[in-house]
Amino acid sequence: MKGALLVAGTTSDAGKSVVTAGICRWLARRGVRVAPFKAQNMSLNSFVTGDGAEIGRAQAVQAAACGLEPTADMNPILLKPGSDRRSQVVVLGRPMADVDAMEYGALKDRLRAVAVESLDRLRSRYDVVVCEGAGSPAEINLRPGDIANMGLAQAARLPVIVVGDIDRGGVFASMYGTLALLDAADQALVAGFVVNKFRGARELLEPGLDMLRGLTGREVYGVLPWLDGLWMDVEDSLALDNRPPAAASASGRGTLRVAVVRLPRISNFTDVDALASEPGVVVRFVTSAAELDDADLVILPGSRATVSDLAWLRSTGLADAVRERAVKGRPILGVCGGYQMLARTIRDDVESAAGLVEGLGLLPASVEFASEKTLSRPVGEAYGCRVSAYEIHHGTVTVDPTPTPTPTPVAFAGNGERRAEPFLDGCRLGPVWGTTWHGALENDAFRRAFLADVATVAGRDFAPAPDTSFSALREARLDALGDLVERHMDTGALARLIDGGAPDGLRTLPPGA
């Protein structure tokens, strides 16, 4: 098999990422040398490759589905929104500029060439490249400058399948409308459709599929059923609304309750997925102070806008609630931007240009934002366990080495003075931990030791399971996606599409004609 395919979607979060990962796993299991690709990704969930390049987290997981180490070519353009109007543009893994929507338009020709060159390199190294689109190809106001959907498909002559989420409703209208809004040249590359997240009796759906085939002249390549418990690394925090709910019962003393503050510009929230994989750990995303009351551990996650999100914490009363927890000796973990918020002061002349800002003051540290972003894959030790992780930040944290006198805002056992203890690259003072490292909780032995310590501090009887493997769980989920493709898609037709491209003579629907 030799060729490429673009997986587009009727909307954001229609299932493009998981369908792409599933096709990648299906092909890899057949012995095909396959790689993922997404030309342009807008996401605050990112990952650092082995050579220090920043790419979208979804493409890192898709690379795992292929059995590959991720590279910058798999996601050559990454947009990281810092506000509603401005984004950091990361090109081939390195920050290039912070721009607004109009300024970004001026970069499109240059970036399109970068994307096509990356795709060409991948196609020269692998038998098949499975490309993921962005948003919807029917965003016709953006079509002239498009480099992620039909613009890429035209440049590389890629056949396209369109994924629709039937769980949202209106899937037939969205599929037909997506195709009809494209111009004739773009429609000629759209070979057919995939229905995603179907629940119920397939025979009830079949008449609609027959009508869609008749109206469009295109194949339906598969109907993928709803799969309970499947939660893969996602790109958009809006997908948190569809996250599997936390366990209904969280009152037993053997349960550990974790509240993750859903910041407005939350980033790398997949850091907590490993916690949710632990039996007896209940993870919830929260937005109000009252939701922290029964939590055994509160996590302040990463943020693309540390100073702005800290102001939001204060405006919602969450900042006071977090400080009150610390005074009572109740566990708090800050990761990256969340760690920065726990410091005494933050000087930011780079990201927000706010200058000197007072932090929450729960850790004896100060933060200064540097113009150059730190991108690395550090390895260290905590609780006697080896920890590998990755770093993505402009804010540099300096821990004050002098003892902190008591009483302090942070309660802990004993009297006199207390120095902050090292914790990975960061520090711990009493019940408050902080680190800049993402992905640390994916290290099984460290995660278990950390949770056991949290349970002790929180006064819970929780004991981590001794055999939970997060990497094995992720592999099982990728295999489940491969199984979905193999069992519920017309893989023969899919293979012919990848090999031969879009069929000739496909019907053009109005008004695209």
- Catalytic residue numbers read 336, 438
CB 266 within 8 Å of CB 45 = no
One-letter amino acid of 35: A
What tokens were used for 115? 């994307």
What is the spatial distance between Cα 507 and Cα 513, in angstroms, rounded to a whole number? 10
Measured in whole angstroms, the distance separating CA 94 from the mean position of its chain's CA atoms is 18
Angle formed by the axes of helices 16-29 and 57-66, nearest 10°: 20
Q: What is the DSSP string of 258-288?
A: EEEE--TTEE-GGGGHHHHTSTTEEEEEE-S
Residue 414 burial by CB count (10 A; 0-12/13-18/19+): exposed, middle or buried? exposed
In the three-class reduction of DSSP (H, G, I as helix; E, B as strand; rest coil), residue 188 is classed as coil
| The Cα angle at residue 322 between residues 320 and 323, in degrees rounded to 5 | 65
What is the spatial distance between Cα 213 and Cα 35, in angstroms, rounded to a whole number? 30
Q: Which helix (H) or strand (E) is 321 found in, with range?
A: helix 318-327
